[in-house]
Amino acid sequence: MNPLLAKLQPYPFERLRQLFAGVVPDAAYAPISLGIGEPKHPTPDFIKQALIGGLDALAGYPATAGDMKLRQSFTGWLQRRYGLALDAATQVLPVNGSREALFALAQTVVDGTKSPAPVVVSPNPFYQIYEGAALLAGAEVWYAPSDPARNFAVDWDSVPEQVWARTQLVYVCSPGNPTGAVMPLQEWRKLFELSDRHGFVIASDECYSEIYFRDEPPLGGLEAAAQLGRQDFRRLIALTSLSKRSNVPGLRSGFVAGDAGIIRNFLLYRTYHGSAMSGSVAAASIAAWGDEAHVVDNRAQYRAKFAAVTPLLEPVLDVRLPDASFYLWAGVPAAWQGDDAAFARALYAQYNVTVLPGSYLAREWQGHNPGRGRIRMALVADTAECVEAAQRIADFCRRPVAA
């Protein structure tokens, strides 16, 4: 067996299952889960019809690079969303959702034969695939903590120069999971300068880019590069998907875009990896990337939901509206003394509401777990159910903590 597998830690949801083992929640309350970030809004009918209409493509093997019409749907969206002109032939590739691409990209760009071992820098807290991808590529992970004083921006300055010198890949998540923070242009400038100095690749995970609450859409990595005169997108790959944008998590469809040299090598890896997108999924994807009306409606639903839920929780939790994404990243009441796992377990037992302990989404690093004392709530269900969950959480927070 691959000895690197032993370095992998249990996924947060497995830890949550273990936390709830033996707990029988109060049957007076119907179960409500805010634990998993799985979109629950209905999939638009026109996407379903496009998927069905593409079923004839099942008769042939799909190309790993996708056809030109599919790639042009990506570049067309990038032009409309960010004002960017990318080459459909060399600067974009279809992927089977951002998760598998985030993993595969590390296997492409990290040289695990180096000594000392290369470093992959990850935000902390983080999407766990970053860590697994780095470890299985033979790298070490350096966890850069988020800073609550700066709206949970990642503290890139906390990474020592000697670590940057060994770094081959940096994962950026903007809008962030779980914090919802968006990285501003000055932070991008800092990372680009470090990349120029040390030669590492930046993987920009942008799957939440279309769920935001203010008039200005979140800045994307490619957009930031263009604004800073980096039109070749050197050492930068942006990754996005349709799961959250179009409510199709089961479609497993997205794309990567950026540095043509990295894209070329990524295509080589993927050709051997066997990760081509089926023609029926491609047909549905083309339809989805070509339509914005359903995205605007989806965003409006989230805005209404957060507007209803956040005021219910603000009096009892340390929480505020995020920049973007569909998560609330909340601090537990002081009476719980920072024990987010105990809070989540008791909430589940007493009110049948599931939230994810923040410490499960982060690593203890240099004596501190930046997720400790916080919980992540995914507001993915309909508004009525999310409001009901918020009311139960508020009632729970007002009860005395059992000794």
Query: Is residue 192, in this structure, part of any structural domain at all?
Result: yes
Same-domain check for residues 282 and 358: no
CA dist 108 and 203 (Å) reads 12
Look at residue 27 in the predicted model and tell me its pLDDT: 92
Query: Is 240 a domain residue?
Result: yes
Residue partners of 57: CB distance under 8 A and separation at least 6: 278, 279, 280, 282, 283
Domain assignment of residue 94, yes or no: yes
Q: Same domain, yes or no, for 89 and 238?
A: yes
* Same domain membership, residue 235 and residue 120: yes
pTM above 0.85, yes or no: yes
- Is residue 403 a part of any domain in this protein? no
Q: Structural domain tally of the chain?
A: 2
Q: Are residues 310 and 171 in the same domain?
A: no
Residues 192 and 261 in one domain: yes
| 280 and 264, same domain (yes or no) | yes
Give pLDDT tens digits along the chain (403 positions): 999 999 999 999 999 999 999 999 999 999 999 999 999 999 999 999 999 999 999 999 999 999 999 999 999 999 999 999 999 999 999 999 999 999 999 999 999 888 899 999 999 999 999 999 999 999 999 999 999 888 888 999 999 999 999 999 999 999 999 999 999 999 999 999 999 999 999 999 999 999 999 889 999 999 999 999 999 999 999 999 999 999 999 999 999 999 999 999 999 999 999 899 999 999 999 999 999 999 999 999 999 999 999 999 999 999 999 999 999 999 999 999 999 999 999 999 999 999 999 999 999 999 999 999 999 999 999 999 999 999 999 999 999 887 5
- 304 and 248 inside one domain: no
**Domain extent for 238:** 45-291
Exposure string for 317-341, b = 16+ CB within 10 A, e = fewer = bebebbbbbbbbbbbbbeebeebbb
Same domain, residue pair 215 and 151: yes
Residues 237 and 90 in one domain: yes
CB-CB neighbours of 264 under 10 Å? 12
CATH number reported for the structural domain that contains residue 103 in this entry: 3.40.640.10
347: in domain: yes
Instruction: Please indicate, yes or no, whether residues 228 and 357 belong to a single structural domain of this protein.
Output: no
Boundary of a domain, candidates 250, 274, 291:
291
Residue 249 belongs to a domain = yes
Calpha distance 277→151 (Å, rounded): 37
Do 51 and 185 lie in one domain? The reply is yes
End-to-end CA distance of the chain: 46
Shared domain check, 53 and 29: no
Residue 305's domain is classified under what CATH number?
A: 3.90.1150.10
Task: Establish if 137 belongs to a structural domain.
Answer: yes
Residue 150 and residue 182: Cα distance in Å, rounded? Answer: 11
Report pLDDT for 403: 58
The residue out of 270, 291, 312 marking a domain boundary is 291
Angle (nearest 5°) at CA 136 between 368 and 237: 85
Closest CA to 371 of 329, 343, 336: 329
Strand partners, 123: 144
Domain assignment present for 117: yes
Distance of CA 86 to the CA centre of its chain: 23
Task: Give the end of a domain, one of 291, 306, 339.
Answer: 291
